[in-house]
């Protein structure tokens, strides 16, 4: 499916605007985003063992990601407030790559997509991991946050081949 060459969040004068989706039909929409938090091997081991003073890093990060997806329109100025029907966040240790891999999916039946909600979930989950482990590793970094799948709506299905 070809991409539009027009920025939808700008009016004819180049000013920012919220897109009017009132005319669009409600459809099932889903988006999946992924990213990682790269860290020192010993930091990942502390997270896996649950030995950080702030508690269960992965459980808190997953919850933070779900909460963030629900609040996306409060954080991103031109996002529509959405009635999400499902959000799932998984934070999976990857010892071979010294990172925690994060995947978030968001779903609804509505007039606009949920890519921003999935991306926000991944990002806030990653920031939560950083916050909870920064006392032992300030060199951690969020990496490669991206949409890997979306379906529904006029633009159809998009999947990144990884």
Tens digits of per-residue pLDDT, 8-57? 655 677 676 666 666 777 899 999 999 999 999 999 999 999 988 889 99
Classify residue 150: in a domain, yes or no.
yes
- Could you tell me the sign of the dihedral formed by the alpha carbons of 81, 74, 113, 2, in that order? positive
113 lies in some domain: yes
Residue 10 belongs to a domain: no
CA-wise closest residue to 80 among 55, 56, 48, 115: 115
8 occurs within a structural domain? no
Kindly state whether residue 2 falls inside one of the protein's structural domains: no
Does the predicted TM-score (pTM) go above 0.85?
Answer: yes
Q: Give the CATH number of the domain where residue 80 resides.
A: 3.30.70.640
> Quick check: is 128 in a domain?
yes
Number of domain units in the chain:
1
Please give the structure tokens belonging to residue 28. Answer: 């099932």
| 115 domain-assigned | yes
If DSSP states are collapsed to H, E and C, what string results for the chain?
A: CCCCCCCCCECCCCCECCCCCCCCCCEEEEEEEEEEEECCHHHHHHHHHCCCCCCCHHHHHHHHHHHHHHCHHHHCCCCCCCCCCEEEEEEEEECCCCEEEEEEEEEEEECCCCHHHHHHHHHHHHHHHHHHHCCCCCCCEEEEEEEEEEECCCCCCEECCC
Annotation says 131 is catalytic: yes
Catalytic annotation, pick one of 56, 96, 131, 137: 131
Of the candidates 138, 125, 130, 132, the one whose C-alpha atom is nearest the C-alpha of residue 54 is 132
pLDDT of residue 88: 98
Any domain includes 145:
yes
Q: Give pLDDT tens digits for 56-113.
A: 999 999 999 999 999 999 999 889 899 999 999 999 999 999 999 999 999 999 988 8
Could you list the residue range(s) of the whole structural domain that residue 87 is in?
Answer: 27-159
């Amino acid at each position: 499916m070809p991409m539009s060459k027009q920025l939808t969040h700008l009016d004819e004068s180049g000013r920012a605007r919220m897109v009017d989706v009132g005319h669009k039909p409600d459809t099932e929409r889903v988006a999946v985003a992924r990213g990682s938090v790269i860290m020192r091997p010993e930091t990942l081991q502390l997270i896996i063992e649950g030995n950080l003073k702030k508690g269960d890093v992965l459980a808190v990060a997953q919850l933070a990601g779900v909460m963030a997806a629900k609040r996306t329109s409060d954080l991103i100025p031109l996002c529509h407030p959405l009635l999400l029907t499902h959000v799932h966040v998984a934070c999976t240790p990857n010892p071979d790559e010294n990172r925690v891999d994060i995947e978030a999916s968001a779903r609804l039946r509505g007039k606009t997509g949920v890519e921003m909600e999935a991306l926000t979930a991944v990002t806030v989950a990653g920031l939560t991991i950083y916050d909870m482990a920064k006392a032992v590793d300030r060199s951690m970094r969020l990496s490669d946050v991206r949409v890997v799948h979306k379906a529904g709506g006029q633009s159809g299905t998009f999947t990144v081949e990884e």
